[in-house]
Amino acid sequence: MSLTLPRALRRGILGVVTALLAALVTVVDIGGLTTSVAHAAAPAGTEPVYHAVSGGTRINVAGVVKSDLTAASSLRVETAPRAVENKTANVDVLNGVAHVEAIQSRNSTRKVLGGIEVSSYARIAGVSLLNGLIKADAIETTATATIRNGEVSRTGKTRFVGVKIGNQKIPFNVPKNTGITIPGVLSVVVNDVRGQVGGDALIKSQATGLRIVLLKPQAGLSAGASIELTPTMARILIPEPIEGSPAFGYAYSTQVGVHVGDALNIRSAPTAVVICPAGGTNGVELDNSTAKVLLPGVVKANVLSNTANATVTSDLTDATMSARIGAVNLLNGLITLNAVTAEAHVVKSGTDPTVKEATAKIVGLTIAGKSIPIGVEPNTTIEVPGLVKVIINEQTDLPFPYDGIAVRALHIQALPGAPKDIAGIDIEVGVAGAWVLRTP
């Protein structure tokens, strides 16, 4: 599909609706916290902004997000080439509504002749949904939006491998927006492709592998609940300025990496990530929940729920990011806990100094069989000789140009000379950060 922009749009007379992931998400180092973070919103102007978001699954009930994008990645930039990626494995969503063996999301921009293309991609593998009613070996979806010599265009497509809905097998290529219904049970749009010109974007391209609507209550979800597999979105927009100081923040449940030399290779990307919109949450708490995360022999975590809550006005910015997890088992029982909450809070009022606070509460923590009290001091370190170092309630003031604070409830790092199966391991549990931009 290709369209020429109306003259008014080419002049940039277009508003933007702030969205949950309207920020760049990438892996960077902020004060020693290597993590997914939200960067500053693009400045006001007439230059296009390229925005893309994707993930493995998303579940909505009565118009409210019940489980946000799993293994999400998001890109918001003004240039090309740029790219971000996220991967995770063995994800259970909402107590078994969906089980996915592997998820990969990727968003990028690239230069094309006469312009720039923004692309959004998601792939899931080993899928079992609604107790096996829907199964898939793999689903791979891509959406693109392009501006070239003043013209905009979009594409969207999904490829299917070993997909079965009820008793019906889905071929590799399916026509766009193919409908399938299991009477009285569910309806499915296969290779769902949508798009628009104008509104909240110069052009928007959306593609979703499977878009499922329940026709009766199932697996703890009410009739009318919507389940999306491999949702992707790419759009080109003109930004609108935010009044006051933008809010920034992130929270996630776990991340596992392995140090190889000076590099940190990610084995399990941040789980149940939630990111604070720069313009605030408009009085609504944003939530991303996942039932279980399993990386055999390394991490087993249950009931993951992370939230963002922010107010942004001309004279006040108040943002709170929270990470909450139920029972956690690390390194085959070397470290266990019953529940953990980590929270980062930042307040900026007029020209007053920024108020920053971080907390971590861990219930039932044991390390190598030893019970650890709830209220330990920030940055308490415990070593298990020959194995790991554990930092409890690790807090970091974020460096310039950020003005805020970040916290890890637990940070586990392998000690030099640790056994081969955990050598270089780096595990984060219960992570949150919140900040504004520091004024000169």
Higher per-residue confidence, 304 vs 81: 81
8 phi, psi to nearest 5 deg: -65, -40
Instruction: Give pLDDT tens digits for 182-204.
Output: 999 999 999 999 998 877 788 99
Higher per-residue confidence, 25 vs 137: 137
DSSP code for 218: B
Q: In the chain, what are the domain boundaries? A: 49-237, 247-437
Mean per-residue pLDDT, 37-60:
68
Mean per-residue pLDDT, 409-429:
94
Higher per-residue confidence, 407 vs 398: 407
Question: What's the CA angle centered on 139, arms 133 and 142, to 5 degrees?
Answer: 140
> Taking all residues of the chain, what is their mean pLDDT, rounded to a whole number?
84
> Residue 257: helix, strand or coil by DSSP?
strand
Alpha-carbon distance of 355 to 320, in angstroms, equals 12
Task: Print burial letters for 128-155: b (CB count within 10 Å at least 16), e (below 16).
Answer: bbbeebbebebbbbbbbbbbeeeebbbb
For residue 94, the model assigns a pLDDT of 73
Q: What's the pLDDT band for 440 if we cut at 50, 70, 90?
A: low
For residue 286, the model assigns a pLDDT of 87
Q: What's the pLDDT band for 22 if we cut at 50, 70, 90?
A: very low
Alpha-carbon distance of 92 to 105, in angstroms, equals 17
Alpha-carbon distance of 194 to 140, in angstroms, equals 16
Closest CA to 252 of 277, 269, 271, 266: 271
Alpha-carbon distance of 315 to 414, in angstroms, equals 45
Inter-CA distances, 370 with 125, 337, 422, 423, Å: 39, 11, 20, 23
Torsion over CA: 380, 373, 331, 86 (sign): negative
Q: What's the pLDDT band for 256 if we cut at 50, 70, 90?
A: confident
| Cβ(214)–Cβ(225) below 8 Å | yes
For residue 267, the model assigns a pLDDT of 61
